[in-house]
Amino acid sequence: MRRTKRLPEFINIYPIGIGRTRIKISHISEIGNIGDNCYKLVMVSGSTYMLTQRHVNKILRLMV
């Protein structure tokens, strides 16, 4: 019997200029590229975070 890894409900993200923030994966509204190695993460509540490519890849792996 194979055990499947349960996906985390919360994830730590590291926005540029803020430090560590804990968000709920299901509350992510959209992720968009806004320039050179910079991505915008928009939450359902309307708050936005600026992330680097490395941290966006980590989130996208969990969302699939």
Which DSSP category does 19 fall into? -
pLDDT band for 13, please (50, 70, 90 cuts): confident
Pairing of strands 28-35, 21-24: unpaired
Mean of pLDDT over the chain:
84
Residue-wise pLDDT tens digits, 25-51: 888 888 889 888 888 989 898 889 898
- Domain ranges for the chain: 11-63
CA-CA-CA-CA torsion sign (42, 47, 51, 55)? negative
Domain covering 11-63, topology: OB fold (Dihydrolipoamide Acetyltransferase, E2P) (2.40.50)
pTM, 2 dp: 0.70
